[in-house]
C-alpha cells in the first residue's frame, strides 16, 4: 500500500508541472494584463514601462515562467501578488481556512444526511418516506444555490432578523466560536442541501442494487436480524461506489465555493480566485491554480486509498502491480 | 474490521482538523455572545460604523493605492496635504495652508500638531522623504506622473537616477516647505494634484527599506506607524477592512472607536443597509444598483443623499472604422439618451454630451447635448456616404446591469438608423486592452473625470496616441496652452472652446452620467455619504 501511495505521489509531480505550464500559457493568452488594472493608459510610456520592470513583466514569457518555477522549487515561494503585493502563499493560506471550514462542515453534514436517508429510502422503496426523500433530493439538486442563498438571506436576515447575511465574523467584534457558527448557518444550509441532494440518490440506487443480491438472502436465511442485514452486510458493499462519488465531491465543493462565497461574502478562496482572475493577478492565479490541482490530486489519491481500504479486491491488485 | 477502523480514523482526523480551523479562525476570545443581528451596534457595545463598498481595497499602499476604496483607506491612515470637499473647495488635512504668490512657488505649512502614532512629529523631512519614494522609478508608482510638474522631476514623474535631491522642493523649517513647479500653475491645480495625492509616510519607519522592496514590505501590507484618524487593524482585500481610532489624531480624537469597510455585491448594499449590517455606503464606490434606489429611499432607518453626476458612460469610437465626423454626429443623434435617463435611470442621472457634467465648473452651458433625432442621423449618414454593409461590434463593460440595458437601447437605436451593431460584453481588463490597442469598433466604458483638473484625462482622450485615433491640431494647441495657464477666466474660455470643437468632431460622445445614491443610517451623526471629502470630518462622526 505504501509503495502504491508513494508511486502515486511521484506521478503527481509531472501532472502538477504540466498543469502549471498549461495554466501559464492560457493565462497569458487572455487579453489584458495586471498593468491595465494598475496604471491608467493616460500615463507616460516610461511610467508604464517602469511598472512592467517592477513586476517582472518586461522579460519574455518563458523567462517569467522559469523564474516563477525556480522560486517555487528552490524556495517554496509562490511570489507576490501583482496587485496587492501580498505574499501569495500567505494570501492563499489565510483564505484556505474559511473555505475548508465551510466545505468540510457541509460535506460532513451532507453525507451524514445522505447515507441514512438513502439507505432508508432503499429499504422502504416506494414508501411515503422514499417519495419525500426523493422529492427533497430533487429539490436539493435542482434549486440553484444562489437562489436558495438569496431566499434564505431574505427570510432569516431581512424578515426575521435571526442571522447575519454575510461575512464570517462581526467586523471589529471579538469573534468567537458562536459568532462564526451564526455566520456559517446559512451558507452551510445551502451547500449541505446540494451535497445531500446529490448523494441521497447515489446511496439509494447503490443500496437498491445490493438489496437484490443473493448473499443477503443467505444472511436472512440464516436468521440474521434485518437491521444487521442492512447495516452490516448490505451497506458495507453499497458504500464502496459512494467513496468514489465523495472523492469527486471535494473538487466540486471547491469550485462551487465561488458562488456561495460571493453571495455570503465568505472570506474564502473562491472570491480570491474570482478577483485575481478579474484583475489578471498572474502570480495569485498561478498559486491558486496549483493549490486547486493539488486538492484534486489529493482527493483522488485519498479516494483510491479509501477504496482499497473498504474493498479487499483492490488491495490485492495493487500488491500484484507493485510486485511486477 | 480494519476497514471500518480506517474509515472511522479518517473521519475523526477530518473532524479534528475542522475543529482546529474553527478555533483558529475565531480568534482567542471564546466568551463572546453576540445576540443581535444588528451587528453594528452589538460588537461589544463599541462605537462602530460599517461602510459598504462595492470595490475591493486592493492595494492600500499610499504611494500607489489601487482604486477608490484603497485611496480612502490609505488616506485615513496617512492624510494627504489637503482634501477636496463636495463643494469643490480644498480643506486642510496634514497641511494647514498652501499658498503661492507667483503660481510657481508654493509654500506648504504643515499642521504642527500632527504626530505619528509612535509619538514623533510629522515633519517637512517626512514629506520630502515620501516625495522621493513616490518619484523613484524602482517604486514605479502609478501616481508618480502627477509629480512631473515639479522642478527637478522628469516628464514621466521620476527623479533622474543618480540625483539625490529634488531641485524643486526645499525645506524651510521643520513644518514648512516650498515646491517649485516647472511651469506656472493655479493654486487649485497644485492642490488637486500634489496636495491630494501626496500621503506622507514616516521616514523613521521606512528609511532602512530599499525603495525596490518598499511595495512588498510588511509596512505597506499593514502600516504600523500612521498619522491619520484611524489605524489599520486587519484587511482582507476582497472582504473587509477594520480600523480603530487613533486617539492622538491631530485634528481631534475620533468619537468612533472603529470604522470598518465591508466589500459587498451591489445588491447586498441595500440588503445590509436594511438589516443594519452596514451603516452607510460611499456613493460611487459602494454603488447601489438603480433598481434598489426606491427601496433604499423607503427605508425608515436610513437617510439618503442624491449625489452629483460624476461617473459618465463614454462611447469610444474607433476612427479607423468611423472616419467621418458626420458619421459620428449621426451616432450622437441616433442615441435616445433622454429615454435612457428617464426610463432606465428613473431620473437619477443626466444626459451628457462631452467631457463635462453639470457638476463641472468648466461646463459651457451654450453647448447642449444634441437631441434625439433619428431622421437627422439618417440624413447625416447619407451625406457622408456611409455604407451599412459591415456590422459594428459594440464592446461594453460587463457587470453593470443598468449599463447593459442602456447598451441594448443604444444598439437598437443605431440599428434603426442604419448602423448595424452587435453587442459584446467584456470584463474590464479585456475591454481596456482592446481600447488601448484600438482593436474595437465602438466601445462603452465608465469614466469619472476629476471636476477641478480634468486636463490629464481630456489630454489623454484628445492628444496624439488617444484610443479613438482622433487628431485635431487646434485641439492639441488648446490643450498645450491649458497646461501652463493660470488665469481662471482663460482656463474657462479654453475649456469652452474645446467643448464647441468636440461637439462638431464628436470624437467620443458620452451617453449619460449617473447620480450615485448615498445612504446613511440615522444612528450615525456627523457623517454624510459623498464622493469627495466624505472622510474630512471623520473624527467628528458619532453613533447614537
Q: What CATH number is given to the structural domain containing B109?
A: 3.90.76.10
Mean predicted confidence (pLDDT) in B527-542 = 93
Q: What is the 3-state secondary structure (H, E, C) of chain A?
A: CHHHHHHHHHHHHHHHHHHHHHHHHHHHHCCCCHHHHHCCCCCCHHHHHHHHHHHCCCCCHHHHHHHHHHHHHHHCCCCECCCCCCEHHHHHHHHHHHHHHHHHHHHHHHHHHHHHHHHHHHHCCCCHHHHHHHHHHHHHHHCCHHHHHHHHHHHHHHHCCCCCCCCCCCCCCCCCHHHHHHHHHHHHHHHHHHHHHHHHHHHHHHHHHHHCCHHHHHHHHCCCCHHHHHHHHHHHHHHHHHHHHHHHHHHHHHHHHHHHHHHCCCCCHHHHHHHHHHCCCHHHHHHHHHHHHHHHHHHHHHHHHHHHHHCHHHHHHHHHHHHC
Q: A310 and B274 in contact by Cβ < 8 A?
A: no
From chain B, pick out residues whose CB is under 8 angstroms from the CB of A306.
Answer: 6-7, 10
The pLDDT of residue B517 is: 93
Q: A157 and B258 in contact by Cβ < 8 A?
A: no
Domain match, B169 and B145 both? yes
In a domain, B469, yes or no: yes
Beta bridge partners, B312, equal B447, B513
In a domain, A75, yes or no: no
Q: A164 and B39 in contact by Cβ < 8 A?
A: yes
Listed residue (A242, A249, A246, A250) closest to A295, CA to CA: A250
Q: Is the pLDDT of residue A26 over 60?
A: yes
The pLDDT of residue B246 is: 94
In a domain, B389, yes or no: yes
Q: Is the pLDDT of residue B473 over 60?
A: yes
Number of domains, chain A: 1
Consecutive H or E run containing B177: strand B176-180
| B168-227 pLDDT tens trace | 999 999 999 999 999 899 999 999 999 999 999 999 999 999 998 999 899 999 999 999
Q: Is the pLDDT of residue B34 over 50?
A: no
Domain boundary among B209, B224, B239: B224
Domain match, B177 and B219 both? yes
From chain A, pick out residues whose CB is under 8 angstroms from the CB of B197.
Answer: none
Angle at B421 between CA B416 and CA B422, to 5 degrees: 130
Q: What ipTM was predicted for this assembly? A: 0.80
The pLDDT of residue A169 is: 79
Consecutive H or E run containing B12: helix B2-25
Q: Is the pLDDT of residue A321 over 90?
A: no
Q: Is the pLDDT of residue B11 over 90?
A: no
In a domain, B543, yes or no: yes
Residue B90 near residue B82, CB atoms below 8 Å:
yes
Domain match, B312 and B405 both? yes
The pLDDT of residue B295 is: 92
Domain match, B358 and B493 both? yes
Q: Is the pLDDT of residue A299 over 50?
A: yes
In a domain, B204, yes or no: yes
Instruction: For residue B296, name the pLDDT band (cuts at 50, 70, 90).
Output: very high
DSSP state of B158: -
In a domain, A8, yes or no: no
Mean predicted confidence (pLDDT) in B456-483 = 89
Residue A43 near residue A248, CB atoms below 8 Å:
no
- B392-397 vs B349-351, strand pairing mode: unpaired
- B280-281 vs B48-53, strand pairing mode: parallel
The pLDDT of residue A314 is: 66
Mean predicted confidence (pLDDT) in A35-63 = 84
In a domain, B14, yes or no: no
The enclosing domain of B424 has a CATH number of 3.10.105.10
- B258-263 vs B48-53, strand pairing mode: parallel
Residue B302 near residue B521, CB atoms below 8 Å:
yes
Nearest CA in chain A to B216: A85
Give the rounded percent of residues in chain A with a pLDDT score beyond 90.
6
The enclosing domain of A260 has a CATH number of 1.10.3720.10
Residue A184 near residue A101, CB atoms below 8 Å:
yes
In terms of residues, how long is chain B? 544
Q: Which domain holds residue B356?
A: 308-516
Domain match, B283 and B198 both? no
Domain boundary among B224, B241, B259: B224
* Contact residues for B133 (Cβ-Cβ < 8 A; gap 6+): B63, B139, B141, B201, B206, B211, B214
Number of domains, chain B: 3
Listed residue (B250, B218, B29, B278) closest to B122, CA to CA: B250
Mean predicted confidence (pLDDT) in A136-141 = 87
Q: Where are the beta strands (DSSP E) in B388-500?
A: 392-397, 421-426, 442-448
Domain boundary among B224, B257, B276: B224
Instruction: For residue A317, name the pLDDT band (cuts at 50, 70, 90).
Output: low
Does any CB of chain B come closer than 8 Å to the CB of residue A300? Answer: no
Mean predicted confidence (pLDDT) in B153-161 = 89
Domain match, B257 and B287 both? yes
Instruction: For residue A12, name the pLDDT band (cuts at 50, 70, 90).
Output: confident
Distance from C-alpha of B355 to C-alpha of B502, rounded to nearest angstrom: 9
Q: B271 and A46 in contact by Cβ < 8 A?
A: no
Beta bridge partners, B66, equal B59
Using DSSP's 3-state secondary structure scheme, residue B356 falls into: coil
Instruction: For residue A121, name the pLDDT band (cuts at 50, 70, 90).
Output: confident
Domain match, B189 and B232 both? no
Domain match, B276 and B254 both? yes
Q: A104 and B14 in contact by Cβ < 8 A?
A: yes
Mean predicted confidence (pLDDT) in B322-328 = 89
Domain match, B350 and B395 both? yes
Q: Is the pLDDT of residue A322 over 50?
A: no
Residue B321 near residue B441, CB atoms below 8 Å:
yes
In a domain, A233, yes or no: yes
The pLDDT of residue A157 is: 85
Q: Which domain holds residue A216?
A: 96-268
Give the rounded percent of residues in chain B with a pLDDT score beyond 90.
53
Residue B64 near residue A217, CB atoms below 8 Å:
no
| A166-217 pLDDT tens trace | 888 787 666 678 888 888 899 999 989 988 888 888 888 888 888 878 888 8
Q: Is the pLDDT of residue B465 over 50?
A: yes
Q: Which residues of B411-450 are buried (b: 16+ CB within 10 A; e: fewer)?
A: bebbeebbbebeebebbbbbbbbbbbeeebbbbbbbbebb
Residue B58 near residue A272, CB atoms below 8 Å:
no
Instruction: For residue B44, name the pLDDT band (cuts at 50, 70, 90).
Output: low
Q: Is the pLDDT of residue B14 over 60?
A: no
Mean predicted confidence (pLDDT) in A228-249 = 80
Angle at B318 between CA B315 and CA B322, to 5 degrees: 100
Residue A47 near residue A39, CB atoms below 8 Å:
yes
The pLDDT of residue A249 is: 83
CA distance B142 to chain A (A): 5
The pLDDT of residue B20 is: 41
Instruction: For residue B413, name the pLDDT band (cuts at 50, 70, 90).
Output: very high
Distance from C-alpha of A176 to C-alpha of A172, rounded to nearest angstrom: 12
From chain A, pick out residues whose CB is under 8 angstroms from the CB of B193.
Answer: none
Distance of CA A187 to the CA centre of its chain: 14
C-alpha torsion B151→B153→B157→B160, nearest 10: 170
Q: Is the pLDDT of residue B35 over 80?
A: no
Mean predicted confidence (pLDDT) in B503-516 = 90
Q: Is the pLDDT of residue B258 over 60?
A: yes
In a domain, B13, yes or no: no
Mean predicted confidence (pLDDT) in A69-97 = 88
Tell which A residues from 69 to 128 touch B, by Cβ distance under 8 Å: 80, 83-87, 94-95, 97-98, 100-101, 104-105, 108
Residue A277 has a CB neighbour count (10 Å cut-off) of 17
Helix axes A282-310, A61-75, angle to 10 degrees: 50
In a domain, B23, yes or no: no
Nearest CA in chain A to B427: A278
Listed residue (B453, B402, B434) closest to B186, CA to CA: B453
The pLDDT of residue B21 is: 41
Residue A151 has a CB neighbour count (10 Å cut-off) of 13
Q: A171 and B48 in contact by Cβ < 8 A?
A: yes
Listed residue (B42, B30, B517) closest to B277, CA to CA: B42
Instruction: Compute chain A's Rg from CA coordinates.
Output: 24
The pLDDT of residue A318 is: 52
From chain A, pick out residues whose CB is under 8 angstroms from the CB of B460.
Answer: 40-42
Mean predicted confidence (pLDDT) in A279-291 = 90
In a domain, A275, yes or no: no
Domain match, B156 and B210 both? yes
Residue A251 has a CB neighbour count (10 Å cut-off) of 17
Residue B311 near residue B515, CB atoms below 8 Å:
no
Using DSSP's 3-state secondary structure scheme, residue B170 falls into: strand
Domain match, B261 and B197 both? no
Distance from C-alpha of B65 to C-alpha of A294, rounded to nearest angstrom: 33
Q: What is the 3-state secondary structure (H, E, C) of A263-279?
A: HCCCCCHHHHHHHHHHC
CA distance B383 to chain A (A): 35
Consecutive H or E run containing B187: helix B187-190
Q: Is the pLDDT of residue B8 over 70?
A: no
Q: Where are the beta strands (DSSP E) in B54-135?
A: 82-84, 90-92, 95-100, 105-110
Distance from C-alpha of B469 to C-alpha of B462, rounded to nearest angstrom: 9
CA distance B296 to chain A (A): 13
Amino acid at each position: 500500500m505504501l509503495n502504491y501511495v508513494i508511486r502515486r505521489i511521484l506521478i503527481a509531480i509531472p501532472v502538477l508541472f504540466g498543469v502549471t505550464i498549461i495554466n501559464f500559457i492560457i493565462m497569458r493568452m487572455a487579453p489584458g494584463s495586471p498593468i491595465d488594472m494598475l496604471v491608467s493608459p493616460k500615463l507616460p510610456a516610461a511610467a508604464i514601462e517602469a511598472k512592467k520592470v517592477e513586476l517582472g513583466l518586461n522579460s519574455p514569457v518563458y523567462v517569467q515562467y522559469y523564474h516563477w518555477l525556480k522560486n517555487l522549487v528552490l524556495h517554496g515561494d509562490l511570489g507576490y501578488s501583482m496587485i496587492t503585493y501580498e505574499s501569495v502563499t500567505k494570501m492563499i493560506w489565510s483564505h484556505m481556512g474559511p473555505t475548508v471550514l465551510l466545505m468540510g462542515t457541509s460535506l460532513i453534514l451532507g453525507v451524514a444526511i445522505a447515507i441514512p436517508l438513502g439507505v432508508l429510502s432503499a429499504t422502504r422503496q416506494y414508501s411515503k418516506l422514499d417519495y419525500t426523500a426523493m422529492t427533497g433530493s430533487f429539490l436539493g439538486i435542482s434549486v440553484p444555490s444562489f437562489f436558495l442563498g438569496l431566499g434564505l438571506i431574505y427570510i432569516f436576515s431581512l424578515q426575521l432578523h435571526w442571522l447575519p447575511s454575510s461575512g464570517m465574523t462581526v467586523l471589529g467584534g471579538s469573534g468567537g466560536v458562536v459568532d462564526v457558527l451564526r455566520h456559517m448557518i446559512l451558507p452551510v444550509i445551502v451547500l449541505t442541501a446540494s451535497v445531500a441532494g446529490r448523494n441521497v440518490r447515489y446511496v439509494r440506487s447503490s443500496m437498491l442494487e445490493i438489496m437484490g443480491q443473493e448473499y443477503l438472502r443467505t444472511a436472512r436465511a440464516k436468521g440474521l436480524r434485518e437491521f444487521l442485514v442492512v447495516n452490516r452486510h448490505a451497506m458495507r458493499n453499497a458504500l464502496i461506489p459512494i467513496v468514489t462519488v465523495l472523492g469527486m465531491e471535494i473538487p466540486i465543493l471547491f469550485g462551487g465555493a465561488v458562488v456561495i462565497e460571493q453571495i455570503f461574502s465568505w472570506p474564502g478562496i473562491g472570491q480570491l480566485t474570482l478577483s485575481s482572475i478579474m484583475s489578471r493577478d498572474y502570480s495569485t492565479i498561478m498559486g491558486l491554480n496549483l493549490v486547486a490541482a493539488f486538492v484534486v490530486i489529493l482527493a483522488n489519491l485519498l479516494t483510491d486509498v479509501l477504496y482499497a481500504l473498504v474493498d479487499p479486491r483492490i488491495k490485492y491488485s495493487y500488491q500484484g502491480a507493485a510486485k511486477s | 474490521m480494519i476497514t471500518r477502523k480506517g474509515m472511522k480514523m479518517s473521519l475523526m482526523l477530518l473532524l479534528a482538523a475542522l475543529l482546529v480551523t474553527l478555533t483558529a479562525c475565531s480568534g482567542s476570545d471564546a466568551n463572546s455572545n453576540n445576540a443581535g443581528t444588528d451587528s453594528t451596534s452589538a460588537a461589544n457595545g463599541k462605537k462602530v460604523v460599517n461602510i459598504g463598498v462595492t470595490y475591493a481595497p486592493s492595494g492600500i499602499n499610499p504611494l500607489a493605492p489601487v482604486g477608490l476604496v484603497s485611496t480612502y483607506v490609505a488616506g485615513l491612515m496617512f492624510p494627504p496635504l489637503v482634501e477636496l470637499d463636495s463643494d469643490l473647495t480644498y480643506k486642510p488635512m496634514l497641511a494647514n495652508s498652501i499658498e503661492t504668490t507667483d503660481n510657481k512657488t508654493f509654500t506648504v505649512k504643515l499642521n504642527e500638531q500632527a504626530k505619528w502614532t509612535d509619538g514623533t512629529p510629522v515633519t517637512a523631512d517626512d514629506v520630502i522623504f515620501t516625495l522621493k519614494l513616490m518619484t523613484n522609478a524602482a517604486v514605479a508608482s502609478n501616481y508618480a506622473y502627477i509629480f512631473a510638474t515639479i522642478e527637478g522631476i522628469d516628464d514621466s514623474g521620476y527623479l533622474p537616477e543618480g540625483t539625490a535631491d529634488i531641485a524643486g522642493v526645499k525645506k524651510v523649517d521643520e513644518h514648512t516647505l516650498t515646491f517649485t513647479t516647472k511651469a506656472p500653475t493655479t493654486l487649485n491645480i497644485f492642490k488637486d494634484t500634489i496636495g491630494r495625492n501626496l500621503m506622507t509616510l514616516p521616514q523613521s519607519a521606512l528609511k532602512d527599506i530599499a525603495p525596490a522592496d518598499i511595495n512588498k514590505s510588511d509596512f505597506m501590507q499593514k502600516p504600523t506607524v500612521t498619522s491619520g484618524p484611524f489605524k489599520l487593524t486587519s484587511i482582507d482585500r476582497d472582504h473587509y477592512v477594520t480600523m480603530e481610532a487613533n486617539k492622538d489624531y491631530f485634528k481631534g480624537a475620533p468619537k468612533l472607536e472603529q470604522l470598518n469597510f465591508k466589500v459587498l455585491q451591489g445588491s447586498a448594499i441595500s440588503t445590509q443597509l436594511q438589516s443594519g449590517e452596514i451603516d452607510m455606503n460611499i456613493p460611487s464606490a459602494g454603488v447601489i444598483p438603480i433598481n434598489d434606489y426606491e427601496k433604499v429611499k423607503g427605508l425608515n432607518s436610513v437617510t439618503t443623499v442624491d449625489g452629483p453626476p460624476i461617473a459618465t458612460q463614454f462611447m469610444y469610437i474607433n476612427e479607423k472604422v468611423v472616419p467621418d465626423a458626420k458619421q459620428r454626429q449621426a451616432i450622437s443623434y441616433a442615441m435616445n439618451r433622454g429615454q435612457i435617463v428617464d426610463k432606465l435611470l428613473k431620473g437619477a442621472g443626466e444626459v451628457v454630451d462631452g467631457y463635462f457634467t453639470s457638476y463641472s465648473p468648466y461646463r459651457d452651458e451654450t453647448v447642449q447635448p444634441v437631441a434625439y433625432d433619428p431622421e437627422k442621423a439618417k440624413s447625416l449618414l447619407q451625406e457622408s456616404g456611409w455604407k451599412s454593409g459591415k456590422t459594428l461590434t459594440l464592446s461594453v463593460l460587463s457587470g453593470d446591469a443598468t449599463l447593459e440595458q442602456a447598451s441594448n437601447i443604444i444598439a437598437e437605436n443605431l440599428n434603426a438608423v442604419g448602423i448595424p451593431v452587435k453587442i459584446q460584453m467584456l470584463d474590464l481588463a479585456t475591454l481596456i486592452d482592446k481600447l488601448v490597442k484600438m482593436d474595437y469598433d465602438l466601445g462603452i466604458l465608465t469614466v469619472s473625470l476629476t471636476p477641478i483638473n480634468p486636463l490629464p484625462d481630456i489630454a489623454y482622450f484628445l492628444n496624439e496616441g488617444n484610443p479613438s485615433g482622433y487628431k485635431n491640431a487646434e485641439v492639441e494647441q488648446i490643450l498645450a496652452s491649458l497646461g501652463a495657464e493660470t488665469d481662471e477666466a482663460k482656463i474657462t474660455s479654453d475649456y469652452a472652446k474645446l467643448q464647441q470643437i468636440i461637439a462638431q468632431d464628436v470624437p467620443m460622445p458620452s451617453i449619460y452620467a449617473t447620480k450615485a445614491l448615498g445612504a446613511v443610517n440615522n444612528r450615525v451623526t456627523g457623517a454624510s455619504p459623498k464622493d469627495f471629502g466624505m472622510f474630512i470630518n471623520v473624527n467628528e462622526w458619532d453613533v447614537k
